[in-house]
Chain A
Amino acid sequence: MKRLNRRQALGALGLSAASLPLLHGRVPHSSLHGTAVAAGAQPTRKPGGMDHGGGVNGPTFRQGDVVDHRANGFNPTEILRDFDYGKTRKLASGRTLREWTVYAVDKEIEVAPGVKFPAWTFNGRIPGPTLRCREGETLRVRFINGSEHPHTMHFHGFHAPAMDGIPEEGDGAIAPGKSTVYEFDAEPFGCHLYHCHVSPLAEHIARGLYGAFIIDPKAGRPDADELVMVMNGFNTNFDAEGNQVYAVNTVAFHHNNEPIKVKRGELVRIYLINALEYDPINSFHIHGQFFDYFPTGTSLQPNELTDTIALTQAQRGILEMRFRDTQGGRIMFHAHKTEFAELGWMGFFEVA
């Protein structure tokens, strides 16, 4: 069992704030809820009364509410390390053919506790599956449209216009119930993305039709604990003016409740993609640590050692870092557009 520090133990024991008036004001509120989960207990909703005092202890959902991951069909913690390598076979030419089947489906997703968003998804999750392959392979993506709306899959990477997944070229927009096959070679290596390209474009993306597309270099990258973070948001009132909920991998404040567990000294590699609509710039910032940054992941040489990067829509990159000793504390990460952070795009790493 994970060793709890004193503060966390108090939280896990569920001692009410009222019984600890002095301590109450000092304990970061999220540690009370966050640790309850870490210790295996369900976060409890305490009736009445402010549990967190003053509200200075950071943004949070009501009473530490969490979403129902089972109903959503996915948990953002699992999406972090879930890579879909598809099926491979050798072609006569000696090259590797890698194949996936991806379907579009309309689905209601709880993006913040109690807030249901009528989403359009790839494979029933947001972000869609992380399609991962190796440089130089031949890729074949069979796309089945199970949604009630026409969609496509448009990949960022080298490919012919007929395989571009836009309504104006190739098979065009794929009608509901129809399917198509996108075929192209895996290049260039790097951290990419795919998304629907049917108009209105902003809505088709903002509804949830996007995912990570990773092409590993031929020689591979150094072994690491690899994480996929797709920065996204949800314009729940559909006013096309900014978003009401921001997150990485869909569920706001998720990694406040379930910190991302990493090992001290181990190389951690984050594939970071900005899929946010309606806001032009997103950003990533980590506390107390610095990372090597590889823009778009298309070079094996980092171009910067930093703790903050800004990304426009569809911009992405690879972050590499080794966490130092955190002495039992947690490492916060969030958009340094603080408005996004306080509307859900923040979380913690827990270093063991």
Chain B
Amino acid sequence: MDAVRKLPTWVLALAPLALIVAALVALLAFGGSTLGERTGPPAEELAVERTELRPGEITLTLRNAGPDPAEVAQVFVNDAYVDYSSDGGEVGRLGTRKLRLDYPWQADSPYLVTLLTSTGATIEHEIEAAVATPEPGGGFIGLMVLIGIYVGVVPVVLGMLFLPLLRRIDPGWVRFLMALTVGLLGFLAVDAWLEGSEIAGESPGALGGVELVIIGAVAAYLALTALDRWLRGRREAAGRSGASAERLSLMIAIGIGLHNLGEGLAIGSAYAVGALALGTFLIFGFALHNTTEGLAIVAPLSDTRPGLGRLAALGLIAGAPASVGAVIGASAYNAEVAGLLLGLGIGAIVQVIVQLVPTIRDTAGRALHPASVGGILTGVAVLYVTGLLVAA
């Protein structure tokens, strides 16, 4: 073993790596003849990632989610063969293909598009209700940004107006409000998980479905924890008072911001596929729903005197991502991106909840006491009731 000890470190790193590469290359080169071919018919898994409707035309973006190459030979819509153009022939593994179908679809009608592959297999894609896909342009992006401001920035800032009230009330009530925030956030996390896993379930699977939601959640949780540790270290080094409260409200704002990114995405994508009628009432519902988020941000600040600029920044951090999400959702939506972004929101919220727990402990150090339990349940109830308003 002495000989090994004398070897330089880089050799210890490179030697196993070289052996691994050699083994894999050998497997690729000789494995085919020793392991035999996969039996059974080719697995043709073409998933429709995106559907766009323009007058007289349906455009499908396909992804090959299966292990074998696949080729669409013909297409029929509601049992009638249609002319179509394609940007290529056979689709390799994970490859994409865009098909433009020549079809006189009618607004609001359901359609069943059947892709007939070269082997005669059929892949069906359902359009629940045909609605013209909005053309991405300046005006459209502006509308999405405006919606984001309505459902994100405005309600968050309005919620923050409770700050003066928070300063007057006694610590018991503050603990209650912090618990209420925990309830609100817990509800949002569960809601985002349900939505994320549903959307991810629609994804072709080649790039991962529900895993992406989990990866997003874990990544956001770990990244925010690291950020929190870093902020904490920096502020403690600076010896600033009230640092803990400011840090906490910033972390909550970031967490809520990531959540609102997912919410904006959901609104934008639903609008893009016509599943959402953007009525005033719906926007009102979202706004009311999100007002509580502003309260959550300022709750830790009841003992401090933050400047208006800082408060505005917190509001933007929490609210503006809704606009970004709406633009992404309406223009570049696919199930994988949506799953990942919703996952980020979940991880962020869970991280914030963990941070909030110390603030609801009573003088005896218990996190769960009558006031905090009451607060959590009230938070859940508030979001449940306001959530009914956005049941589109």
Partner of B82, one of A60, A111, A117, A244: A60
* B116 sits at the interface (CB 8 A): yes
> Complex formed: what's the CA distance from A297 to B380 in Å?
77
B120 touching A117, Cβ below 8 Å: yes
* Count of A-B contacts judged by CB separation below 8 Å: 101
B73 touching A113, Cβ below 8 Å: yes
A52 touching B73, Cβ below 8 Å: no
B76 touching A343, Cβ below 8 Å: yes
Interface flags for B68-105 (1: CB within 8 Å of A; 0: not) read 00010111100111111110000000000000111110
* B118 sits at the interface (CB 8 A): yes
Taking CB atoms, residues of chain A closer than 8 Å to B194 are: none
Assuming A115-B74, A244-B116, is B82 touching A55 (CB within 8 A)? Answer: yes
Partner of A237, one of B83, B85, B121: B121
Taking CB atoms, residues of chain A closer than 8 Å to B56 are: 50, 53-56
Among B56, B76, B100, B120, find the residue whose CB has the most chain A CB atoms closer than 10 A. Answer: B120
> How many whole Å from A109's CB to the nearest CB in chain B?
11
Among A63, A116, A236, find the residue whose CB has the most chain B CB atoms closer than 10 A. Answer: A236
> Complex formed: what's the CA distance from A239 to B117 in Å?
15
* B133 sits at the interface (CB 8 A): no
* A294 sits at the interface (CB 8 A): no
B121 touching A236, Cβ below 8 Å: yes
Taking CB atoms, residues of chain A closer than 8 Å to B73 are: 62, 112-115
Assign chain B's interface to a size class.
20 to 34
Taking CB atoms, residues of chain A closer than 8 Å to B120 are: 111, 115-117, 234, 236-238, 244
**Closest chain A residue to B79, Cβ basis:** A339
> Complex formed: what's the CA distance from A245 to B74 in Å?
10
**Closest chain B residue to A237, Cβ basis:** B122
Q: Which of A10-40 contact B (CB under 8 A)?
A: 29
> How many whole Å from B44's CB to the nearest CB in chain A?
10
> Complex formed: what's the CA distance from A197 to B71 in Å?
34
Partner of A343, one of B79, B83, B84, B102: B79
Partner of B81, one of A52, A54, A238, A342: A342
* A259 sits at the interface (CB 8 A): no
Among B56, B100, B101, find the residue whose CB has the most chain A CB atoms closer than 10 A. Answer: B56
> Complex formed: what's the CA distance from A47 to B74 in Å?
16
> How many whole Å from A121's CB to the nearest CB in chain B?
16
* B57 sits at the interface (CB 8 A): yes
B83 touching A29, Cβ below 8 Å: yes
* B304 sits at the interface (CB 8 A): no
Contact residues of A: prevailing secondary structure: loop
* A226 sits at the interface (CB 8 A): no
Assuming A54-B56, A115-B73, A115-B116, is B122 touching A244 (CB within 8 A)? Answer: yes
A55 touching B85, Cβ below 8 Å: no
Taking CB atoms, residues of chain B closer than 8 Å to A288 are: none
> Complex formed: what's the CA distance from A306 to B286 in Å?
63
Taking CB atoms, residues of chain B closer than 8 Å to A73 are: none
Q: Which of B117-133 contact A (CB under 8 A)?
A: 117-122
Taking CB atoms, residues of chain B closer than 8 Å to A60 are: 81-83
Taking CB atoms, residues of chain A closer than 8 Å to B116 are: 112, 115, 236, 244-245
B71 touching A114, Cβ below 8 Å: yes
> How many whole Å from A118's CB to the nearest CB in chain B?
8
* A171 sits at the interface (CB 8 A): no
Q: Which of B15-54 contact A (CB under 8 A)?
A: none
> How many whole Å from A44's CB to the nearest CB in chain B?
13
B122 touching A62, Cβ below 8 Å: no
* A94 sits at the interface (CB 8 A): no
Q: Which of A236-273 contact B (CB under 8 A)?
A: 236-239, 244-245, 252-253
> Complex formed: what's the CA distance from A306 to B66 in Å?
51
A48 touching B85, Cβ below 8 Å: yes
> How many whole Å from A234's CB to the nearest CB in chain B?
7
Assuming A112-B73, A112-B74, is B121 touching A344 (CB within 8 A)? Answer: no
Q: Which of B259-312 contact A (CB under 8 A)?
A: none
* A68 sits at the interface (CB 8 A): no
Partner of B80, one of A51, A114, A342: A342
Among A60, A111, A234, find the residue whose CB has the most chain B CB atoms closer than 10 A. Answer: A60
Taking CB atoms, residues of chain B closer than 8 Å to A158 are: none
Listed from nearest, the 10 A-B pairs whose CB atoms lie closest are A236-B120, A114-B73, A342-B80, A55-B102, A54-B56, A59-B81, A55-B103, A59-B80, A115-B73, A339-B79
Identify the A interface with B (CB < 8 A).
29, 47-56, 59-65, 111-117, 234, 236-239, 244-245, 252-253, 339, 342-344
Contacts A62-B73, A115-B119, A342-B80 supplied; 20 other A-B pairs, CB < 8 Å: A48-B85, A49-B85, A54-B104, A55-B102, A56-B104, A59-B80, A61-B81, A61-B83, A115-B73, A115-B116, A115-B120, A236-B116, A236-B120, A236-B121, A236-B122, A339-B79, A342-B76, A343-B76, A343-B81, A344-B81
